């Protein structure tokens, strides 16, 4: 059945696997996607949404690099919101509510239209290795499929165990079996593994809810989109979400089941996501709070199924039902299915290189929850990078990596391989020290040239980015060179309670005031005429406004990034013996020997390596 040797085999068809398969195939590698159920490619296992705080930036970066998550999200969106608009632009984060079934269908369609990509439905149960290099996979049907590189994107399926109250059963998610064999093979090769936990809330019948008792959460009046390509369009109509709250009564009803909760009776031994806790964990940890938010999210355009965001739980189903009925608007609720927790195997990501290739086995790559992350967006970005680098490895090309000042994806991967994680890792804007540089609005200018050089971004995509960038420079130059007099600008300034000017000022100086916006300047005929002539859209004007208002911050971060890049270019030989450097602390010698950083800068980010240890290394390296 498989006479040829594939360039790349991708195991798993979730968000990481889909992006990995698309990237490798689009770069020209003969690729096979092996997954347990071809009907569930691109499945949204938990909430029906993409993006959010920092995650929205990641989706934009995936799109700028030639990935598909942004396109699929746009085509299946039912609502769009730009979060954190009240804060600075480094915090602005796009998010869409998605049609769950349409999202998976669009992913399937996109992959089936990808050249060089084959599909096979089966469970990969073993891996093949020869002379320390991966050689392929074995399936549950006993088939051997050979490949030059393998990307593992196993999600929550490796030895997955589902918990609902005191009930336990094997599974990768509701209704699907767990995967066995891969963990045991990797451990036999010397990999260390661990267990993590995640959870999901009940799904309910929207016809049984009383939305009049909830607060409506509509989308943006002028919705944007994720993809920079013209092949997708902003939403013309949207579906609203709703918000309600738990109460002391709800909390009391939930506590009645704590003695049967796998979280509290010792059945679940692994650590769950800190920033997406179960409802029982929330009322236990935050006992002083008498209510918590519940977001009521529709699962699509045409379905009545509703996702109860904020009510993730593994309590017995009758406890879940009784407590949820006490939530305002849920008095007559009907369940589609209860919430549950799931434990699964992961492999500490300090065992990986920056390319996401394993240090122990050449040609073997890990991406997604196998690396200890949580979230579709984090998984998809790793899948994209692993797929790219699997192709690069097969064709003896240099690894493609992103630094911390180039992308949130760079921050994510560097955090994982340098610091590791003992709990499900989630991206936040606070994790990025250069977040003013890594905004959601400029992902294309940051990354599309890199993707084009790789061969992943088309000439058309590059031309589109360059055209938008040129328009932004034109508008920016206009604001820097053009002056505006008191008679023209003071009426606008007075409307905005801003101090009037007494003499002509450059437009950029006026726009740099905190309460003055580009929309204010668009009221001036000479500005609106110039913008129209330049054919600049809202995204271009947004970029110009950000560059003017935050010029000082942007320049400061660039300077800091340039200084750090000098350390990034100070390599450390892979064979360097830290134990010979007695001036290093014992902890530093231990951590450095384990992680084997490739540069002084990476060494400086390892937990337990102090500034004095870095000084010793700099001296030792002949600095």
Q: Is the pLDDT of residue 402 over 80?
A: yes
Q: Is a pLDDT exceeding 90 seen at residue 217?
A: yes
Average pLDDT over every residue of 273-293: 89
- b/e per residue 33-53 (b: at least 16 CB within 10 A): bbbbebebbbbbbbbbbbbbb
- Band of residue 348 on the pLDDT scale cut at 50, 70, 90: very high
Rounded distance, CA 495 to CA 493, Å? 5
Taking the C-alpha atoms of residue 400 and residue 380, their distance in angstroms, rounded to an integer, is: 16
- What's the pLDDT at 442? 94
* Mean pLDDT value across residues 461-487: 94
pLDDT tens readout for residues 106-164: 999 999 999 999 999 999 999 999 999 999 999 999 999 999 999 999 999 999 999 99
Choose among 372, 374, 333, 335: nearest CA to 356: 372
Q: Would you state the pLDDT for residue 247?
A: 97
Instruction: Report pLDDT for 469.
Output: 94
Per-residue pLDDT of 42-101, as tens digits, reads 999 999 999 999 999 999 999 999 999 999 999 999 999 999 998 889 899 999 999 999
Average pLDDT, the chain: 94
pLDDT, average across residues 172-180:
88
Q: What is the pLDDT of residues 220-273, one digit of tens each?
A: 999 999 999 989 999 999 999 999 999 999 999 999 999 988 888 778 878 888
Helix (H) / strand (E) containing 161:
strand 161-164
The 10s digit of each residue's pLDDT in 554-584 is 999 898 888 877 877 788 988 899 999 988 9
Taking residues 331-349, what's their average pLDDT? 96
Residue 176 — very low, low, confident or very high, per pLDDT cuts 50/70/90? confident
Contacts of 91 by beta carbon, 8 Å cutoff, 6+ apart: 53, 84, 429, 435
Confidence of residue 623 (pLDDT cuts 50, 70, 90): low
Q: Is the pLDDT of residue 622 over 80?
A: no
DSSP class of residue 146? E
Q: What's the half-sphere exposure (Cβ side, CA atoms, 13 Å) at 25?
A: 23
> Which token pair is 559?
């300077």
| Gap between the Cα atoms of 534 and 512, Å rounded | 22
pLDDT of residue 570: 86
Contact 6, 148 (CB under 8 A): yes
* Spatial contact of 395 and 33, defined as CB atoms under 8 Å apart: no
pLDDT digits (tens, 9 = 90+) for 416-464: 999 999 889 999 988 888 999 999 999 999 999 999 999 999 998 999 9
**Distance from C-alpha of 562 to C-alpha of 465, rounded to nearest angstrom:** 24
Q: What's the pLDDT score for residue 266?
A: 78
Angle at 155 between CA 150 and CA 161, to 5 degrees: 125
Whether residue 370 contacts residue 198, with contact meaning beta carbons closer than 8 Å, is answered with no
Q: Which of 22-36, 280-294, 347-361 has the lowest mean pLDDT?
A: 280-294
* Nearest alpha carbon to residue 564 among 397, 437, 427: 437
What is the per-residue pLDDT for 3? Answer: 74
């Amino acid at each position: 059945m498989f006479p040829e040797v594939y360039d790349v085999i991708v195991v798993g068809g979730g968000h990481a696997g889909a992006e990995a398969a698309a990237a490798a195939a689009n770069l020209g590698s003969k690729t096979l996607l092996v997954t347990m159920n071809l009907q569930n490619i691109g499945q949204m296992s938990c909430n029906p949404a993409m993006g959010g705080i920092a995650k929205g930036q990641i989706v934009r970066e995936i799109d700028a690099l030639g990935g598909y998550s942004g396109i699929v999200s746009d085509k299946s969106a039912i609502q769009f919101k730009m979060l954190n608009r009240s804060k600075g632009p480094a915090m602005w984060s796009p998010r869409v509510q998605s049609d769950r079934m349409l999202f998976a269908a669009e992913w399937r369609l996109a992959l089936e239209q990808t050249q060089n990509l084959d599909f096979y439905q089966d469970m990969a149960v073993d891996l093949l290795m020869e002379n320390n290099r991966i050689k392929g996979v074995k399936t549950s049907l006993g088939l051997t499929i050979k490949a030059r590189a393998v990307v593992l994107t196993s999600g929550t399926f490796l030895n997955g165990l589902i918990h609902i109250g005191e009930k336990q059963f094997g599974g990768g998610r509701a209704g699907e079996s767990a995967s066995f064999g891969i963990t045991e093979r990797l451990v036999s090769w010397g990999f260390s593994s661990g267990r993590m936990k995640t959870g999901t809330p009940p799904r309910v019948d929207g016809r049984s809810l009383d939305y009049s008792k909830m607060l409506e959460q509509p989308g943006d009046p002028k919705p944007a989109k994720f993809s920079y390509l013209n092949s997708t369009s902003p939403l013309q109509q949207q579906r609203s979400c709703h918000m309600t709250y738990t109460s002391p009564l709800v909390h009391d009803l939930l506590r009645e089941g704590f003695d049967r909760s796998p979280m509290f009776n010792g059945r679940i031994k692994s650590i769950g996501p800190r920033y997406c806790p179960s409802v029982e964990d929330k009322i236990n940890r935050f006992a002083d709070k008498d209510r918590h938010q519940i977001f009521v999210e529709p699962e699509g355009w045409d379905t009545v199924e509703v996702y109860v965001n904020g009510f993730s739980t593994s309590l017995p189903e009758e406890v879940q039902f009784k407590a949820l009925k006490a939530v305002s608007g849920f008095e007559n609720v009907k369940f589609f299915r209860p919430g549950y927790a799931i434990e699964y195997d992961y492999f500490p990501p300090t065992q990986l290189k920056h390319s996401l290739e394993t240090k122990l086995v050449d040609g073997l790559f890990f991406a997604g929850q196998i690396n200890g992350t949580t979230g579709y967006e984090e998984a998809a970005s790793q899948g994209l990078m692993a797929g790219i680098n699997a192709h690069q490895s097969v064709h003896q090309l240099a690894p493609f990596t992103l630094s911390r000042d180039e992308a949130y994806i760079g921050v994510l991967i560097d955090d994982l391989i340098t610091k590791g994680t003992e709990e499900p890792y989630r991206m936040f804007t606070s994790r990025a020290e250069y977040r003013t540089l890594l905004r959601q609005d400029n992902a294309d200018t940051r990354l599309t040239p890199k993707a084009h050089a790789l061969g992943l971004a088309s000439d058309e995509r590059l031309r589109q980015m360059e055209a938008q960038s040129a328009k932004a420079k034109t508008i920016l130059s206009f604001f820097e060179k053009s002056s505006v007099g008191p008679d023209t600008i003071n009426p606008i300034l007075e409307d905005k309670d801003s101090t009037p000017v007494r003499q002509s000022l450059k437009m950029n100086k006026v726009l740099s005031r905190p309460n003055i916006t580009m929309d204010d300047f668009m009221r001036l005929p000479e500005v609106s005429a110039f913008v129209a002539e330049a054919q600049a859209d809202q995204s271009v004007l947004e970029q110009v406004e950000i560059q003017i208002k935050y010029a000082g911050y942007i320049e400061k971060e660039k300077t800091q990034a340039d200084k750090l890049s000098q350390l990034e270019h100070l390599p450390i030989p892979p064979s360097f013996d830290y134990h010979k450097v007695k001036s290093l602390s014992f902890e530093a010698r231990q951590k450095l020997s384990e992680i084997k950083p490739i540069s002084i800068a990476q060494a400086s980010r390892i937990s337990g390596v102090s500034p004095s240890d870095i000084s010793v290394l700099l001296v030792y390296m002949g600095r």
